């Protein structure tokens, strides 16, 4: 068994476990403790369109990635519910990327439509977000069509998995790999995200020689 097959087996096992947790969590009484903020705009996955306290919500946020990089920004969400289980929205965020070892501070921005099917305990997410990064007069952009699932398994633990298919901005052509983003969020207003970025292209199997589960990302954030 090569390393790429091993990685696929491990990820498949995790996703099966994820589904089992999701089914169990979906059966939990909705009057139990509220879920961690599933609506917060994450840097590594799309926001949900689930309704919040208001149809329009603005959330300032700060993240750090192992102390190697920081982001300061804010997110804006507009949502509308067609039924108890079907929600549509527009998610966007923008801010600045701060890397202590680099003098340049790029600006990032992202926006796009989101459809969420389900409730806080368990939902399916569909989105097509555009992200841009601007620094010193140059801009790089990419579209990120994605499909994902999210499930609350404990009062302060939420699991998520999302498959993204990047598309170049100018050519509107699919880049030659999809990416699996998966992990867990611990906490509520102040939280820790433990995530993995796993390329799905066999040509990138060398990544798994060093990171069997994918490239790990740990971020700490706060929403107010």
* 3-state SS class at 172: coil
Spatial CB neighbours of 203, under 8 Å, sequence gap ≥ 6: 176, 177
Average pLDDT score, the chain = 76
What b/e sequence results for 121-147 when a residue is b if at least 16 CB atoms lie within 10 Å of its CB, and e otherwise? bbbebbbebebbeeeeeeeeebbbbbe
Instruction: Check pLDDT > 50 for residue 199.
Output: yes
d(CA 58, CA 40): 10
Kindly report the pTM of this predicted structure: 0.75
CA geometry: angle 47, 189, 22, nearest 5 deg: 55
Instruction: Check pLDDT > 90 for residue 44.
Output: no
Spatial CB neighbours of 202, under 8 Å, sequence gap ≥ 6: 4
Instruction: Express as a percent the part of the chain with pLDDT over 70.
Output: 69
Question: For residue 29, what pLDDT is reported?
Answer: 46
Question: For residue 107, what pLDDT is reported?
Answer: 92
**173 or 121, greater pLDDT:** 121
């Amino acid at each position: 068994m090569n390393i790429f097959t091993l990685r696929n087996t491990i990820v498949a096992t995790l996703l099966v476990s994820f589904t089992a947790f999701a089914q169990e969590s979906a059966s939990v009484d909705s009057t139990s403790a509220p879920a961690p903020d599933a609506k917060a705009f994450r840097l590594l996955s799309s926001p949900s369109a689930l309704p919040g306290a208001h149809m329009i919500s603005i959330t300032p946020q700060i993240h750090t990635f192992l102390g190697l990089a920081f982001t300061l920004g804010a997110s804006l969400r507009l949502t509308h519910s067609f039924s108890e289980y079907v929600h549509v929205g527009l998610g966007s965020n923008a801010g600045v990327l701060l890397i202590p070892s680099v003098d340049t501070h790029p600006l990032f921005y992202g926006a796009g439509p989101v459809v969420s099917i389900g409730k806080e305990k368990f939902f399916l997410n569909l989105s097509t977000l555009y992200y841009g990064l601007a620094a010193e007069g140059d801009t790089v952009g990419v579209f990120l069509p994605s499909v994902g699932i999210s499930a609350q398994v404990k009062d302060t633990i939420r699991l998520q998995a999302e498959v993204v298919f990047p598309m170049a901005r100018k050519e509107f052509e699919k880049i030659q790999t999809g990416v699996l983003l998966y992990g867990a969020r611990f906490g509520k207003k102040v939280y820790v995200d433990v995530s993995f970025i796993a390329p799905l292209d066999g040509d990138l199997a060398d990544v798994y020689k060093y990171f069997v589960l994918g490239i790990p990302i740990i971020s700490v954030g706060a929403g107010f």
